[in-house]
Amino acid sequence: MQQLSSLIRDVADFPKPGIAFKDFTPLLADPRALALAVELMVNPYRKSRIDVVVGAESRGFIFGTAIAQALSAGFVPIRKPKKLPREVHRVTYDLEYGSDTVEMHVDALKASDRVLIVDDLLATGGTLAACAQLVGMAHAQIVGITVLIELVSLRGREKLVSAGEVHSVLKY
């Protein structure tokens, strides 16, 4: 874990004053660290029969596609508004510094799908709770949520109690 933590930088006052942004781009640039991060995110779900990995825009795409490949599962992107060309489900939610909206194609998941939700960071839980709502709108089963980083003091995990097991690799 120390190897991964050493590659994550704090950027003060980004994207606005008072926010300490966790920049993991140095981790992404290190092939061994990136492989380790993906492996640690996917390991708890290797025997869970995941059909589809859902990744939140945009950093959830980075880990989500790698995790989908590792699990021999499909990948479904959850996007910001007006990025998907067909009919969508939409959820608006609060962030730690504002609000946002995410969308998923209405036909992206089947009710029989077993889903793993992936993102880079769990902060206040708004984005991941919105992703869970979108999966719920498709009547698919959430098996779990996996993230690289959890900001424990923001208590985002509390918003995800009904969304299944939450796994985080690094906790700050």
Q: Count of alpha carbons within 13 Å of 5, Cβ hemisphere only?
A: 8
Distance CA 123, CA 120 (A): 10
Q: Please give the positions annotated as active site.
A: 59, 96
Instruction: Measure Cα distances from 4 to 8, 29, 52, 145 in Å.
Output: 7, 12, 26, 20
In this structure, the strands spanning 52-56 and 9-12 are: unpaired
Instruction: Measure Cα distances from 6 to 25, 91, 103, 159 in Å.
Output: 12, 35, 34, 29
Do residues 44 and 167 make contact, with C-beta atoms less than 8 angstroms apart?
yes
Which amino acid is located at 85 in the chain?
P
